[in-house]
Amino acid sequence: MKLTTGYKRFATFILAMGLASMLGCASTAAKQGAREATADQVITSKVIKAINGEPTLKSAVINVETSQGVVLLTGFVKSAAAENTATELARYIKGVTLVRDALQVK
């Protein structure tokens, strides 16, 4: 069965449109991911700054990780009050959707 030139052009056009639409979606997802990563970095920086600026947490060793607005606090604090202070500081940073507290009182 011979394919006509018109049919070949039409099939090529459809294939090209399909590829272009898939590439367009991929770049949008990549841009969204980059924006989220940047927002998470900003949140992490603000939480670290707030914790470092709190006098009652000077002796604490707190690590901060952020993913999609969820902040994870890990490390060691001297008291339950210090643990509460750290989680409250993180909770009130703009962009934070949830604070997961994995701090240990030592």
From CA 87, how far away is CA 73, in angstroms rounded? Answer: 8
From CA 41, how far away is CA 43, in angstroms rounded? Answer: 5
Q: Are the beta carbons of 30 and 38 closer than 8 angstroms?
A: no
Residue 24: CATH number of its domain: 3.30.70
Q: What is the pLDDT of residue 71?
A: 97
Question: What residue ranges in the chain does DSSP mark as E strands?
Answer: 61-67, 70-77, 98-105
Show the domain range for 59: 5-105
Residues 6+ apart with CB under 8 A from 14: none
Q: Which residue has the higher pLDDT, 1 or 22?
A: 22
| pLDDT 10s digits, 6-57 | 777 877 878 777 777 766 655 565 666 777 778 999 999 999 999 999 999 9
Q: Which tokens in the block code for residue 101? A: 């507290």
Q: Could you tell me what percent of the chain has a pLDDT over 90?
A: 61
Q: How many domains does the chain have?
A: 1
Q: What is the pLDDT of residue 16?
A: 77
Burial of 98 per CB tally in 10 Å (0-12, 13-18, 19+):
exposed
